[in-house]
Amino acid sequence: MTNVEQSAIGGRTGAIREWLHQRSTREFLAGILFAGPYLALFTVFLLYPLLKGLYMSLFEWNFLNPAESTYVGLDNYARLLSDPAFWNALWNTLEFVLLTVPLIVVISLVLALGLNKELIGSRLLQFLYFSPYVLTVSVIALVWSRMFAQAGVGTQVLGWLFEGSPLNSELWAMPAIVIATVWWQAGFYFAVLLAARQNVPERLYQAARLDGASPWRMFRDITLPHMKNALLFVVIASTIFQFQVFGQPYLMTQGGPVGSTETLVMYLYQLGFETRELGFGAAVGYTLLLILVLVSLVNYKIVGTTDE
């Protein structure tokens, strides 16, 4: 709209109102056009499958001929709750999460606090700690399978604990997978915590040192409170991520020995893509979703109450 046109309609309030109206119409159209591509992908590949999954979970789903699926109501969920394989997978997943998350938090915190000091070679150290994060899970799993093979480093170092490879031990297979996972991911969280540590004002430590505070007290009363949000992020993000562990046990142990490393997403994968029980698998997917939403809500609640 040029100045000439504007002055031509100036004074006539009706026309101005119309112009305003037009402008908002155009903005509305532009808004929809700009939001459209994302919303189309979001609707087709996220919202629709989410509803479809709920629908499928109520059927004994026939993959080749969906029209011949049988409605079974909540039977899939009932079957799930009475399936020992589900409870085994849930328990193993919890074991994995409860071992991995604390290790990741402690190691990434130690690395972040250590590298916050001036060290010779700190760039090299940062490279070594962080680089496993750019590897894919299959590289992680296959390298560590070798590390824990009969003639592997892990087996040499931890040989006094068991005979042969830990991956063949019902007790030690899961800890072995945890170690591989920590190597893979500690660097990612280390980077997050390093940034948080660098944001703590240095003058607080100077003041505390003048007051003769011990390193432990400075850690407890300055470092930890200032890094609380970053630490909570690490706990929440890694918990949700670890809950979906799949590649490491799938490639390192195939869920064995005797199902001791079978996880929820592996269980879901087998139902969907090996035995093709899609309706039941969809019910497992939904149950996993509910568990994770619950975990997030509990976490957000903790964040919400401590943020005040």
Partner 1 sequence: MSNTNPNSASWTDRHLDRDTLYRIGLYVVMYGIAIAFFVPYWRMFQLSVTPMSVITEGGFHWIPPEFTFAVWQRYLFEEPIIYQWTFNTFMIASITTLIVLVVDSMIAFSLTRLEWPGQSAVLGIIMASFMIPGYVNIIPLYTLVNNLGLMNSYWAIILPFAAGPLGVFLLVQFFRDIPEELEEAARLDGFSTLRIYARIILPLSTPILTALGLFVFIWSWNQFLWPLIVLNDDALYTLPIGVVTLRDVNALAPNIIMTSLALASLPLFIVFLLFQDKLISSVQMQAGTG
Measured from the CB atom, the residue of 152 and 175 that comes closer to partner 1 is: 152
| Of the residues 72, 80, 178, 268, which one makes contact with partner 1 according to CB under 8 A | 268
Please count the residues of this chain forming the interface with partner 1, following the rule CB under 8 A.
Answer: 98
308 vs 305: CA distance, rounded Å? 6
Measured from the CB atom, the residue of 77 and 133 that comes closer to partner 1 is: 133
- On the question of a cis peptide bond just before residue 257, with omega within 30 degrees of 0, the verdict is yes
Cβ neighbours of 98 (radius 10 Å): 13
* Residue list 13-52, contact with partner 1 (CB under 8 A): 24, 26-28, 30-35, 37-39, 41-42, 44-46, 48-50, 52
Nearest distance from residue 38's CB to partner 1, in Å? 4
| Of the residues 8, 74, 128, 207, which one makes contact with partner 1 according to CB under 8 A | 128
| Of the residues 289, 298, 301, 306, which one makes contact with partner 1 according to CB under 8 A | 289
Ramachandran angles phi, psi of 277, nearest 5°: -90, 80
Interface with partner 1 includes 10 (CB under 8 A)? no
182 vs 107: CA distance, rounded Å? 9
Interface with partner 1 includes 77 (CB under 8 A)? no
What's the sign of the alpha-carbon dihedral 43, 44, 45, 46?
Answer: positive
Interface with partner 1 includes 298 (CB under 8 A)? no
| Of the residues 20, 81, 106, 135, which one makes contact with partner 1 according to CB under 8 A | 135
Is the Cβ–Cβ distance between 264 and 288 less than 8 Å? yes
Interface with partner 1 includes 191 (CB under 8 A)? yes
Cβ neighbours of 263 (radius 10 Å): 29
Q: Which two tokens stand for residue 190?
A: 């280390």
